[in-house]
Every structure is written in structure tokens, then in C-alpha cells.
Structure 1
Amino acid sequence: MNPVHTFWLILMLIAPPTWAFQSRVVNIPSAAMHRTFEATVVLPDQYARGSQAPRFPVVYVLHGSGGDYTDWTANSRIGKLADRYHVILVMPDGGHESWYIDSPVDPRSRYGTYVGTEVVAYIDSHFRTIATKQARAITGLSMGGFGALRIALDRPDAFGAAGSMSGAVDPRRSEGEPGIERVFGDPMQYADFWNRVAIVASAEDFGRDHIALTIDCGASDSLVQSNRLLHERLVELGVPHGYAERPGGHTWKYWSNAVKYQVSFFAGTFRQAARDMRDARAAA
């Protein structure tokens, strides 16, 4: 991380919030899918200070099944978190039932590449980001929770932190749901793929690739058991992570509260990265 970026990152994270975030919609092309998709970008107030203003870490926040790039701003007050934690928030469109993967059966559905590579490249080239793994995080709800964890695992050099809210972390438990087999393939014919992409199958990689991890799920959510199993596997492997079950179900009331904890966690990882960089320079 550039020392100038580190200085500004530390300064921004201790500055008082101004609650004047800016939300805009951008069009992001996908070479992988030969289409252009919209995304919501929320900038903190400090971003408007001009070209000499500091660069910012980025948190990517994914919507769930049936949703789109407008879901988070329409159903929560997520925008205020950009100012509170001095981050850029990016909410890309992941398709209604894409699961944020590159489908083994539908070459037109390559949302893993789109969100994990193409969106990140676009944001870094069009906004003043700190374009490093240590200043980039990804999370999401339900299908987006699975997608966020899968994208981070598949691109360990791109994301330093990942999270999931009410995540469908084991798609094998969603077998038979409308639309899922169109992107995953037949569960018998493509059993190896279904097993490989389940987050629990790659749980140890979060530790190996130094990806800071936080997971939460409502205690009355139908997906809570698969989240508990993932948590137990991470504990068994000794992989550091945060895990929480809070009252609530698979609802926007739960997610609009949960996202505050997620972004707070990511801000903490950004601060730690800045401290580590500072300490490394001091020791050099």
C-alpha cells in the first residue's frame, strides 16, 4: 500500500462523520458476458474534495436472489455507512438467479468473473480507490452471501476481507429451488462442481489466503443450520473468523441491521492493514 494512501486511510478512519454521502448509478460493461450492467456506487462526503483528495478503501455489497443493484439503497440506510467508515460502497447487479458464479452449463452466465474481476477493475479505474487487497472487502445477503465468499475464495489476491449475511453458504441444501440448476447444472451430472463450490469445502483457504472473515445469520432463518456447520468447520480448522447469530429471519429488517456490523468489521481490517504497513515501515 502506498504510504500516502496509508496516511490518508488512518486519518479518514478517525475523522468525525458528516453524513453527506453521494449515491450514483454507473454502467459497467462485461466482456465476459457481452453486456453492460448497472451498479450503485456510494461515495463518502470526503470524496468530493477534488482530485487531490485521498483515496478510499472499497466494500462490495451483493444483493440476494431476485434482487438487483438497487436493493440495498432501497431497503436499508446503507449509504450512511460510507461516511461513518470512510469507504466507497459498490452494489453491482448480479442477476436474479446467478449465484455469482461462472456457470458450468450456461456460458452466458459468468457473474463470478463479472463481479469479482470486471467490476473491481472498473471501480479502480474510475474512482479514487486504494487498489490493493488490503483495502478491498466483499459481502452480501443470502445468494449474495454465498457469492461474496465464493468470489473472495476464487480471487484471494483481490479481497482481503469477506463476509456473509444469512448466506446460502451450501448450495447443495438449496437443490431443487427454482433457477438454481440452470446455473449449477444437474446435481447428479455436475455433482463435483456442486461439492467443490460449497463454501465449507474451501473453509481452510480463508486462513491460508489471509482473508479476514465475518459471518452472521438470523437465529430463526432457514439457512442458520448451514451457517452453523460452516462456523463449526472453521473452528475445527482453526481459521480465525467472526460469527454471530442475532434475533431475526430472512428479512430486510435483519439485513439492514447486520450490514452495519459487517462494514464496521471491514473498517477494522482496513485500520489493521494501515497499522501493519506503518509498523513495517518503522521496522525497516
Structure 2
Amino acid sequence: MDMGKKTCYLLVLIFHLSFVLLASNVDTLIVHSKAMNKDIKNVVITPDGYEKNTESFSTVYLLHGAGGDHKAWLKVAPKLKAYADQYNIIIVCPNGHVKSWYLDSPIDPSFKYETYVSKELVSAVDDKYRTIKNAKARAITGYSMGGHGALYLAFKNFDVWGVAASMSGGVDIRPYALKWGIPDRLGSFAEYPEHWEKNSVVNLVHLISNKELTFQVDCGTGDFFYADNKRLHEKLLERKIPHEYVERPGKHNPEYWRNSIKYQLLFFTDFFKSNETNN
């Protein structure tokens, strides 16, 4: 190898090593839930340069679907680390249990995932990382069960979340009385119909009338949750509740969610930027 090629090779190597050293970092944050008396693992991705400056960052929480855990989003969207760099945000992926539906169960006091995500986890992340401790700088989204969870938590906790979204969300759980462990959280539909009514996102729109919440509903037209999301959209229109609605060809699968997250992160970042003066 001649000197010119060696020099070129070294420059490329140095550039590559510099990129690796400055790129986003993936942590496993273990948070003790007092509400459930257990330790819970969470993934936290900090952006390029986080360790080298003193600025604070907006935060995006990503909720997984049924059967998933805190590592599920890294498999669904391997580019998350690049997105943290691109948008200069902190990304948090909680472990919401395989079938929690992100509820505080009315029948099982050992399941309090609304409390965990919206209170305990947010508090722990804000304590450990340089976040902007303001709802206007905090977003939440998720897919499937996590889509339900994101809107459910945002609709009920305006002081925590300023912007939210769902993708392929199970926004009406009532038609699925025998599926995905929901009866374990709410009891049987026949015995506790009020639990199912009160915990379906489609029935919570009254909570956001005259409230400041920016949010998006996204579902593929080939998804088995499509009709439920369409019905939520129509109910929001009837109530004249501002929101963004997205439907496009697609099914209930990671390919759809990988595409959705790219646009939702842009949606969140635009919101953060529009509220920078208030943070």
C-alpha cells in the first residue's frame, strides 16, 4: 500500500472512530417501582454529544406491544440510535410487561403500569438524565398495546405528556374480551363491563375536551385495529377535538411501525421546537 492510500485509510479510520465515540449511547436503566414493589428494566438512548455539553433534552417514550419488553423497540426500529442523534432527543423504552396494557388494574393491585410509566419512570428519568422537565418537552407513542397505552396515558395525564401518538393502537379493547391478557387486567367483560368501558381509549375523549394535548392517530388500512382507529377519529371529529389522523396501506407488523416512527418523531420534534420558548 502506497503512502497516499495509507493516509486515506487512516483518515477514514479516524473518522469512523470519531463517529463511534460521539454517537448515541444506549443505557439500561433499572427503576424500582414502589407501586408494584419490583425493579423494572428500561432502555434509555441519549444522543450524540450528550456527555460533552450541559444542555437539557426533550424526551420521547416508546411503548411496546403485547409480548414485548424494553428491548422490543430496538428490534422493531434499529435506527432509533440514529434518530436520537438526528433529532437531538432522549428516547426511553419502558418495560411495560408482556400484557399490562399500561393500566392500573382495578382487580390486581400488583399491576400499576399507568402509575409506573407516567409517574415513577418519568421521575427517575428526569432525576438521572438532563431532560427538560416540562410536559411540552415530553412525548409518548407506541404500537399495538403500546398505541393504546400512549393515548390512554396522555389522555389521563396532561401534566406529564404534551404530545402523543399511537400506531396500530388497540384503542377500543371491548371487542377483544378474550384476547391478549386483557381479562387478567380488567376481569371478565361479563362480570366487570364498567372496567372495559372506562379503560378503552375511544371512551376517554371527553377527558381531552378543552385540554391542551397535541396528538396523532395512525393505523394501516389492512390492520385488524383499523375500524377501531377510524371510529376514534370520527368521534374526535364529532367532538371537534383537534388531532392528526393518518391512514395508509399497511398491516399490523414491524414494517408499518418502522415507517410510522420516522414521521412521528418529526411530528414530535416540530412540537418541541414550537414550544421551546416555554421550556
- How many angstroms apart in 2 are the aligned matches of 1:245 and 1:204? 23
Per the TM alignment, residue 178 of structure 1 is displaced from its structure 2 partner at its CA by: 4.1
Aligned mate of 1:82, from 81, 84, 95: 84
Please state if 1:35 is matched with 2:41.
Answer: no
Residue aligned with 1:248, SS: coil
TM-score of the superposed pair, with normalisation by structure 1: 0.87
Which of 1, 21, 26 matches 2:24?
21
How many Å apart are 1:19 and its aligned residue? Answer: 8.3
* 2:198 pairs with one of 167, 184, 196: 196
- The residue aligned with 1:64 is 65
Q: Which runs of 4+ in 1 moved over 2 A?
A: 204-209
- Tell me the matched-pair count: 258
Whether contact under 8 Å (1:78, 1:256) holds in the other structure is no
Distance 1:79 1:174, change over 3 A: farther
**Within-5 A mapping of 1:257-272:** 257-272=259-274
Please show how residues 87-98 of structure 1 align to structure 2 within 5 Å.
87-98=89-100
1:48 deviates by 1.8
Aligned residues of 1:100 and 1:111 also touching (Cα < 8 A): yes
Mean Cα displacement is larger for which, 159-168 or 202-211? Answer: 202-211
Give the alignment partner of residue 158 of structure 2, picking from 144, 156, 164: 156
Distance 1:272 1:121 in 2: 24
Q: Give, in whole Å, the separation in 2 of the partners of 1:133 and 1:123.
A: 14
Match of 1:185 among 181, 184, 187: 187
The DSSP-based 3-state class of the residue aligned with 1:138 is strand
Partner of 1:73: 74
Check conservation: 1:204, 1:239, Cα contact below 8 A.
no
Which segments of 5 or more consecutive residues in structure 1 lack a partner in the other structure? 1-17, 279-284
What residue number does 1:166 align with?
168
Residue matched to 2:3: none
Q: Which amino acid aligns with 2:59?
A: V
- Amino acid of the structure 1 residue aligned with 2:28: V
Distance 1:196 1:148 in 2: 16
Q: Is the 8 A contact 2:177 2:188 kept in 1?
A: no
Task: Using CA pairs under 8 Å that are at least 6 residues apart, name the structure with larger relative contact order, 1 or 2.
Answer: 1
Selected match of 1:209 from 208, 211, 214: 211
The answer for the alignment partner of 2:275 in structure 1 is: 273
Over the aligned positions, Cα root-mean-square deviation in angstroms equals 1.5
Preserved CA contact (<8 Å) 1:149 1:164 = yes
Cα deviation, 1:110-160, whole Å, max 9, x if unaligned, reads 111111110000000000000011111111100001011111122111110
- How far the C-alpha of 1:268 sits from its partner, in A, is 1.0
CA distance in 1, matches of 2:123, 2:55: 19
Write the distance in 1 (CA, Å) between the matches of 2:180 and 2:254: 21
User: Aligned partners of 1:245 and 1:220: how far apart in 2?
Assistant: 10
Q: Give how far 1:215 is off.
A: 1.1
Inter-partner Cα distance in structure 1 for 2:201 and 2:94: 21
- Who is 1:239 aligned against? 241
Matches within 5 A, 1:218-257: 218-257=220-259
Alpha-carbon offset, residue 219 of structure 1: 1.3
- SS of 2:204's equivalent in the other structure is helix
The match for 2:115 among 110, 113, 122 is 113
Letter in structure 2 aligned against 1:96? V
TM-score (norm 2): 0.89
Query: In the TM superposition, what whole-angstrom CA distance separates every residue of 1:47-105 from its partner, at most 9, and x where no partner exists?
Result: 1214xx20001010000000000011122122221111111000000000100000011
CA contact (8 A) 1:19 1:83 kept: no
SS in 1 for 2:259: helix
Judge conservation of contact 1:207–1:240 (CA < 8 Å) in 2. no
